[in-house]
Chains A and B, each alone.
Chain A
Amino acid sequence: MSKAGMLYIDSDTLFHRMDGAAKLIVLAVWTVVVFLFQDIRIFVPLFLIGIIMLLSAKLPWKRIRLLVWLMIVFNIFNSLFTLAITPAYGSEVSGSTTVILDLGYNVLTLETVVYVLTLSMKYMSLMPITVLFIYTTHPTRLASSLNRVGVPYKVAYAFSIAFRYIPDMQAEFRNISNAMQARGLGFGKGEGTLSQRLKHFVSIAIPLVQSSLHRIETISNAMDLRGFGKHSKRTWYSATVWHREDYIVIVTSLIVLIAAIAWRVQGYGTFWYPY
């Protein structure tokens, strides 16, 4: 996390310049398309296009690697569990059965291996675009975009406010836990049993909640005094103007979406099994 506690990484690439709402539409279309199909021949190109887009945003690997690894590890576990729990599921979907291993409680079929591979490619094809969206969209700009696509502004603003106070809460948590340690409460490994340490963590919650309540009172007073909630609408200082690029991207996304739906309706893109 950056000093400001935001995931946003400032830079000046096409994706940084794009309006948050446009990006949100691309993300939505991308997700819908991915979930319409079950064909690895679609997912692999999508994944590659996503990777190229991600590279073009020039995000420093050091900052994004945690999220990327998290997604990959989650995906691997998901695949392994699918293989272990429903090793013959792929056969149900494809209608053919090619046993490659007898597991005792069930058999592992080649169809399932292909199915799991397809499934994980499906998730992986969503990864680059999600990372791109999270790291190139400033929280307030995202809030203003959410508002533009129909989310009530009070809900959208709550989102932005959360980002504002996360770092303060982190600092407060550190301060409180330091003071507690000085009084002899252990939080780390080897400083008491697991249940004791857990209890100590819970005890920090009391002052943390107390100060959060106080903070909420201050913020809501400050917001009231400056006219928040006066009208049913509001404008956004950080709202971006829609450029030609944004329109091109949105129109392209919508064409892709319509084409994808039409294709799917004709029966293409169901689970593809090569053998």
Chain B
Amino acid sequence: MKEPLISFRDFSFQYRSLSEPTLKQINLDIYPGEKILIAGPSGSGKSTLAHCINGLIPFTYSGTLSGEYSLRGQRPADLSIFEISRSVGTILQDQDGQFIGLSVGEDVAFAFENDCMAPADMKPKVTHALDIVDMLPLHDQSPHELSGGQKQRVSLAGVLSMEADILLFDEPLANLDPASGKHAMELMEEIHRQTEKTIIIIEHRVEDVLEQPVDRVVIMAEGRIVKVGTPDEILSSSIMREHGLREPLYVSALKYAGCDLLPKDKPSSLAQVSASPVVKERLAVWADSAEPASKSAPHPPLIEMEDVRFSYDGEREIIRGVSLAIGIGERVALLGNNGAGKSTLSHLLTGIAKPNAGVIRLQGEPINSWSIRRRGEHIGYVMQNPNHMITQPMIWDEVALGLRVRGLSEDEVKTRVEETLRICGLYGYREWPVSALSYGQKKRVTIASILVMEPKLMILDEPTAGQDYKHYTEFMSFISHLADSGMSFLFITHDMHLALEYTERAAVLCNGELIAVGDTAHVLTDTDAIAQANLKETSLGALSRLTGVSAPEAFVRHFIVQEKKVNHHE
């Protein structure tokens, strides 16, 4: 056996500001040329482990270390962060924040500059690195002209140019739309095959990572490693569910159907596992047990957009003739890739942008000329990042803000804030400062601060971004509960899982046009629309197609019914 590149022995770490260790008794060896996925829910310590590997711990974040950790047989504490970065190249989660240069080429050259390389020697190296990631034609662009996926590829080029033999990806899929995420995983695999570098991926979106081959999966929970195994071993077990991680959807479906998955069935490969006759048989029985779909009564319209058009400069149209209705009490998903016009469409609804043509109606009344504030009384808008919305230090004041601005009496403010805090499960925290809350709780505060204004429609921008499956499920069932009371919701998202499980209707936006609108299960199994919008089919659709057990739409619907039952029990 080869010598391990990275080796942890009974390793623990405690941040100086925390009272408990974040990493506990870690034992892990990583060998040269391996491709490893480290998965775990938020707070499992996976990012802290990444910080130990790239040297940010102990050089930037200090704390108490115990046990052994070695990188190529050396103790990182004896090296400097610069020496470590020569071996470990890190691609951070925030694609925009880690882009340092004012142009693509400059960003890639950043490490060379710090190494005092002569400018003439840098140029060919930068060109070569950009060529590997297919970004050479854009070498002069500024970061503001690039998409998230493109910025990530520039960072990758920067790290590749340093010739570090370990590449560490910290949540590479966060903030990427499905198509860019798939592209990123393919690029990683290509680099892995061509360069034989060791690749470590930290990510909780296991399904997307496992679409490409991975040697081993490390599952972390509560600061410990709870299991290490091949993807087949991990997927055949129930370890992911036990620790609040989302299994690939097709694996869940197979388990619901009663298939006893074994590593030899190759559950990590959708194509292989669905070719098994036993699996086909079980799935067919399960699919037949589906109850016929019940048609819900049509909702009377709340908001209607009629042939709405919009352009910023009067030349290039961003929204090209969109007609969409959202019913009272309906949950609608607005899907589409980055740049499809999703945010612009929400800006048109909230009044941040005004349409150049077409009508927007609220319960029959045209609202084109209404200001942002006036629309705000009926249409609430919740931003993706709660830290961008919270302006008051205390939770109570934050929720009361909108009502106080409206000039309501302090008595009425009190009753309404109290009621809202109860609904949102925040009543116990009413006297707390916002800063003491977790990300998910802050997200609830922002919902509460909009809910208290009693809008008829709430627009949620990427409501589950940055949350693991457990928190995501909690949050979305809370939202569903609100929807049952008659409020309408529009979810702006590229998360197909979210749309599938929590919305009744979906609209797919592509280059400013709606290319599909209808029942969510129907839209999400419409392979033409999915391909055209550059989205990604869920693995459920693919599973039903490959096994041929029933129509994808019915199959997906049956799965959701089953999933809801299970989640309800948990």
Contact A226-B158, Cβ < 8 Å, known A184-B402, A235-B112: yes
Complex CA–CA separation, A191 to B371 (angstroms)? 11
Determine whether the beta carbon of B144 is less than 8 Å from that of A218: no
Cβ-closest chain A residue relative to B141: A4
Determine whether the beta carbon of B405 is less than 8 Å from that of A214: no
Determine whether the beta carbon of A184 is less than 8 Å from that of B373: yes
Q: Could you tell me the distance in whole angstroms from the C-beta of A199 to the nearest C-beta in chain B?
A: 10
Q: Could you tell me the distance in whole angstroms from the C-beta of B128 to the nearest C-beta in chain A?
A: 14
Complex CA–CA separation, A3 to B313 (angstroms)? 13
Determine whether the beta carbon of B405 is less than 8 Å from that of A226: no
Q: Could you tell me the distance in whole angstroms from the C-beta of A61 to the nearest C-beta in chain B?
A: 20
Cβ-closest chain B residue relative to A204: B391
Mark the stretch among A38-46, A164-172, A259-267 that contacts chain B: A164-172
Complex CA–CA separation, A175 to B388 (angstroms)? 8
Interface string of B80-121 (1 = CB under 8 A from A): 011001000010101011111111011001111111111100
Complex CA–CA separation, A207 to B106 (angstroms)? 30
Determine whether the beta carbon of B119 is less than 8 Å from that of A237: yes
Total residues of chain A contacting the partner, CB 8 A: 55
Determine whether the beta carbon of A237 is less than 8 Å from that of B109: yes
Q: Could you tell me the distance in whole angstroms from the C-beta of B386 to the nearest C-beta in chain A?
A: 9
Q: Which residues of A contact B54 (CB under 8 A)?
A: 225
Complex CA–CA separation, A161 to B126 (angstroms)? 20
Complex CA–CA separation, A76 to B95 (angstroms)? 47
Complex CA–CA separation, A221 to B390 (angstroms)? 26
Complex CA–CA separation, A223 to B110 (angstroms)? 8
Cβ-closest chain A residue relative to B88: A225
Q: Which residues of B contact A179 (CB under 8 A)?
A: 381, 383, 388-389
Contact A235-B118, Cβ < 8 Å, known A3-B144, A3-B145, A175-B388: yes
Determine whether the beta carbon of A225 is less than 8 Å from that of B116: no
Complex CA–CA separation, A229 to B99 (angstroms)? 17
Complex CA–CA separation, A237 to B376 (angstroms)? 48
Confirm or deny: B409 has a beta carbon within 8 angstroms of a beta carbon on chain A.
no
Partner of B97, one of A218, A229, A237: A218
Determine whether the beta carbon of B145 is less than 8 Å from that of A185: no
Q: Which residues of B contact A223 (CB under 8 A)?
A: 100, 110
Q: Which residues of B contact A181 (CB under 8 A)?
A: 371-373, 376
Complex CA–CA separation, A226 to B117 (angstroms)? 14
Complex CA–CA separation, A221 to B98 (angstroms)? 8
Determine whether the beta carbon of A164 is less than 8 Å from that of B143: yes
Cβ-closest chain A residue relative to B168: A225
27 A–B pairs (Cβ distance < 8 Å), ordered by A: A4-B142, A4-B145, A138-B102, A176-B389, A179-B388, A182-B376, A183-B405, A183-B450, A183-B453, A185-B373, A206-B391, A206-B392, A207-B390, A210-B387, A218-B92, A219-B97, A224-B56, A226-B158, A227-B82, A230-B114, A231-B116, A235-B116, A236-B119, A237-B112, A237-B119, A237-B122, A237-B123
Binding site for B on A (CB under 8 A): 3-6, 138-140, 160-161, 163-164, 167-168, 172, 175-176, 178-186, 191, 203-204, 206-207, 210-211, 214-215, 218-231, 233-239
Binding site for A on B (CB under 8 A): 54-56, 59-60, 81-82, 85, 90, 92, 94, 96-103, 105-106, 109-119, 122-123, 126, 142-145, 158, 162, 347, 350-352, 371-373, 375-377, 379-381, 383, 385, 387-393, 401-402, 405-406, 449-450, 453
With A227-B115, A231-B115, A235-B116 given, name 19 new contacts (CB 8 A). A4-B102, A164-B101, A164-B143, A172-B388, A178-B352, A178-B372, A184-B453, A191-B373, A203-B391, A204-B391, A206-B392, A207-B391, A211-B388, A224-B60, A225-B81, A230-B114, A236-B119, A237-B101, A238-B106
